[in-house]
Amino acid sequence: MRLSDAPRQPAPSDPAPGDPAPGDPAPGDFVALRTTALALLTGGDFDVSDPAYERPLAALGERAATWLAQMVPGLIWPDLPLEGRPGNVTGSYGRLRQIATAWATPGTAQHGDDAVATRLAEALDLLYERHYNERLPETGNWWFWEIGTPAELSRVCVLLGERLDAGRLEAYLGAIDRFCPDADRRAGRPEASESGANRADKASIVAFRGVAGRRADKLALARDGLSDVRDGGRHSVFGYAESGDGFHRDGSFIQHAVVAYTGSYGLSLLIAVAETVALLHGSPWEITDPGQRVVLDAVERSFAPFVHDGLLMDTVRGRAATRQTFSDSVAGHEAIGAVLLLARSAPEPYRSRFEELAKGWIERGAARPYLRHANVPQTRRAVAVLDDKTVEAAPSPAGHHVFPEMDRVVHRRPGWAVAISMSSRRTAAYEAINRENLHGWYTGDGMTYVYTGDLGHYGDDFWPTVNPYRLPGTTVDTLERENLDFSVHRPPSPWAGGVVLDDLYGVSAMELIGDGVSLRARKSWFCLDSAVVALGSGITSFDGRTIETVIDNRATDAEPYVGDGWMHLPGTGGYVFEGARTLVETRTGRWRDINEGDDTAGAFEPVTRRYVTFWFDHGVNPLEADYSYVLLPNATRERTRAFRGNRPARVLSNTPTLQAVQTRALLGATFWAAGSVGILDVDAPCVVMLRRASERIVLAVADPSRTVDVVTITLDRAAGGVVRADDTVTVRTGKRPVIAVRVGGSLGRSHSVELSAYGPRSPRYGR
C-alpha cells in the first residue's frame, strides 16, 4: 500500500474497490456527498481572507504543526505508547485527523502539502499494520475499537480522499468494517443491540465510511441504523425510550440504563445525528423518518434548560465533568455547534427557534467566547446567524423544569439558575467507570449548582480542587472514602423528584439514604421568584461520625460579608441561615487525582483555587436533626439583609413528615405522609404547590415516590368552579373543595388544576 504521489485526479470512470455496482446511485451522488462531508469537516468553500476565519485557521494550523513536529517514525508520538493501549490508538488517530483536517482546509500552512500527506500515510500504515486491523481481537474497552478509533479513521479517509490509493483505502475501511460494520450490534458482543448515543455515533461512522468508500449499502445502513429498521424501531434514536437509554417523554436523557447523561452521551447523540442528517440531506439516502421530531424537540425540551449563557451544566454530565479538557463551557460550545448544524436542514419552526437559541447563547457566553474557540465550520455557521439581523437572540429564560426520569431539577430566572442533582432507586447517584469520576461519591445526593454572573465557577479547575466531602447542597457522613472504581450506585429510596407550577415555580424533594452508612435525611427545595429555600429534616446517623450539610462551597476570590443570620458573596449573591460555620481556604489538587482514564486522564500538575465554604455541623450521631437556609442568587448585600429582616418566605413546617414554605402568593409543601398545612389537607405522600392570584387558585401535585395511586386534597377555602384541570384531576367544589388526583402510573409528572375562588380573601394561607 502506498499514498499516490500523483496529483489529485477526479474519480476514475471504471469501477474500483468500493465503487457502486450497476443500478446503484450515480457516481455524481458520491461526489456530491464527499463535497458535503468535506464542508462538514473543513468548512467547505469560504473566503480565507475573511478576518472571521483568521483565528480558527491559525489555531488549526498550529495544532497540526505541533503534532507534526512531535511525530517519531515507527513510534508516532512518545507520549501515547500504543502497545496494549487502545485508548492511545484512538488518541493517535485523533491527532492524525487534526493534521488531515489542516491538510484539507484552505488557508492553513499544511493545506495540500505533499510532505504532510506522506507523513500521514506513514502513520496510518503503522497504526493499521500493528494496532488496528481486521485480524486483531478487541482488548480492553470495546468503545475505543468500535467507536473511538473508527470515528477518527473514517473522517481521515474522507479528508484525504483520492490521495489514498485503492489498496490503502480498502485496508483502512476493512478495519472499520470489522469493528463497526453497522449501528445495530456490538461487534465484540453481537447479542447486544446498540442504543442511545452509541447507536447514533456508529451511524455517523458508517455514514462517513460509506462516503469514503463510495458504498451505497453503508449509507443505507447509516440511515436505517438511526431508526433501528433492523429491529423494528426498538432502539431507534428517533423514538422515546420507555425505560433505559435515550430520550424520555419528560425530556430526560438516560445512558447506561440509569445515569442522567444529557450533557455527555446525550450531547454525543445530538452531534452525531446532526452530522448524519446534514451529510445525507438532499442525497438518495436522506433521512425521512418522521420520528426526527424527537431529536428536534429535544433541543428545547432536553438541552436548553441546562444551557446557561453558553455552558452546559455539570448536573447532567456525569463522569464527563471530571475530564480536564471538556469543561461545561466546552460542552456548551459543542451543543451550540450541533444546534446550528441541525438548523440547516430542520423545517420551521425548528430552524428559526434553533438559530434564536444559539444566537442568545453565543452572545451571552462571556466565560468562553464562542468565536474565540470555534473551529472553521462552527465559525461559518455562527457568523451567518450572528450577522443575520432577522434572527432575534433568545433572551435568558425564566422557568422551572423537573425531569422525573433522571431525578434532575432546574430553576431559572433571567441572569441566574439553580440546578439540583438527586438520585433514587431509578437513577444513579454516581457512575465511576474507566477510572473516571474517582471522587464522585456525593454528586447525586442533592448537589446544588448555583449559576450567576460568575460563569467560570464550575469550569475553571473546580472539580480537582473542591472538597469532595463538601459539595453544595449535600448532607454527608464525614467517613473517609476510597477512590471509586467501576461502580454505579443507586440508593434504595423511591423518593426523588418534584412538582412544577405554572412552568415557573416548584417544590422538589429526595429521601437521602447514605451509601454504605446509616445516614438518613429528608431534603426539600422550594423554588420561588428570587429565592430557593432549602429544608432538611430527620437527619439521623448511628456510625459515630460527624454529619454535615453544606450550604455552598464557592470557588471565588471575593470576600464574604457576614451579617446577623445572613451572608453576602460578591459575584454570587446572598444567603440566609442561622448557626452555620464558615471557612475561607485555598485548596490545591490535580486533575489526575479524579480522572485516570485512558483517553481522558487529567494532568499531574497541581492547580489551586480559593473557596468560601459554609455548612451546618449536625454533630456526631445526630437524631432527627434539621436545617433551613435560603439561596438568593445575584442578590445585592442590601437585598439579602432586607430578605433576612422581612422574611418574605416563611417556613411553616420542617419535620420528617412535612416540610412547607409560604410566601404571600405561594404555598409549597412536601408531604412525606398524610397531613395538613395552611389551607391544604392531604391524605397521601406527595409534593404540592399552590398559588392564589386574581380570585383564582392554581394547584399542582406530583408523587415523586411513584407509590401512590390517588392523592386527595381538601382545601380550607371555598371555590366556585373549575377553570381548567388535567384529565387526571377531578374536583368537587364548594366551601371545602375536594380535589382527587390520579398520580398512579404518571411517572412522577405534575398534575394541575385551576379553580375560581370566592369567599373572604386572605393575604396569607393560615387558617
Asked if 134 and 146 touch (Cβ cutoff 8 Å), the reply is no
Q: Which of 133, 256, 467, 489 is catalytic?
A: 256
Q: Which of 198, 553, 634, 654 is catalytic?
A: 198
Residue with cell string 412536601: 670
- The three-state secondary structure class of 27 is helix
629 is catalytic: no
467 is catalytic: no
198 is catalytic: yes
Asked if 610 and 519 touch (Cβ cutoff 8 Å), the reply is no
Non-local CB neighbours of 603 within 8 Å, separated by 6+ positions? 324, 590, 591, 592
CA–CA dist 109, 599 (Å, integer):
28
Q: Which of 53, 128, 132, 265 is catalytic?
A: 265
CA–CA dist 369, 68 (Å, integer):
28
Amino acid at site 158: V
State the angle between helix axes of 114-130 and 166-179 in degrees (0 to 180), rounded to the nearest 10.
Answer: 40
C-alpha cell at 763: 393575604
CA–CA dist 577, 653 (Å, integer):
16
Name the E strands within 404-531.
408-413, 416-421, 430-432, 447-451, 475-477, 487-489, 496-501, 505-513, 520-527
Residue with cell string 453544606: 550
Non-local CB neighbours of 673 within 8 Å, separated by 6+ positions? 657, 658, 685
CA–CA dist 168, 172 (Å, integer):
6
Instruction: Provide the 10 A C-beta neighbour count for residue 75.
Output: 12
> Which strands form 729-732's sheet, in the order they lie side by side?
675-677, 680-682, 710-715, 738-742, 729-732
Closest CA to 510 of 492, 524, 529: 524
CA–CA dist 725, 743 (Å, integer):
14
Q: Per-residue b/e over 676-687, b at no fewer than 16 CB within 10 Å?
A: bbbbbbbbbbbb
Closest CA to 450 of 560, 561, 525, 362: 525
- What residues act catalytically? 198, 256, 265
